[in-house]
Amino acid sequence: MLNEMKIKLPSLSVNESLARSVVAAFCSQLDPSATEIADVKCAVSEAVTNCIVHAYRDTIGVIYINVRLYEGGVVRIEIKDKGCGIEDVKTARQPLFTTDAANERSGMGFTVMESFCDKVRVTSKVGKGSSVTLFKIFGGR
């Protein structure tokens, strides 16, 4: 491992842009392209938004972000919460699935993350929280 960063933020919507900017700035030490940084920012934005909107719903909780940089341009970004958890991860990862249709949520968050990352891992326990780990390799797939 080359470097590591850990941060925790309250699950406030104003912190979504902060999270993606801080993660992107930290990743910049691997000298990614502008497109690769944009990919990371978009994926982080989706994962953090899921924590804010779904994990904690109408309460304020903590979002934990751990970023690790490795040789070969490999980035591992873990975004965790201690919210309500996801009942069925496989179903939640399907395009257009949402538990919040009343608020016009599109259900595309995981699909977006998967399109911008090389790998996305999701684990969850109902009542305990969720973890989304994003893997990105700068410089090619």
- Among candidates 132, 100, 98, which has minimal Cα distance to 116? 132
* Cα–Cα distance, 89 to 81 (Å, whole number): 15
Query: Which positions are annotated as active-site residues?
Result: 46, 50, 105
3-state secondary structure of 69: strand
The answer to whether 93 touches 39, Cβ cutoff 8 Å, is no
CB atoms under 10 Å from CB of 140, counted, come to 8
Token digits for 58?
């109408």
Residue the block writes with tokens 């719903």: 57
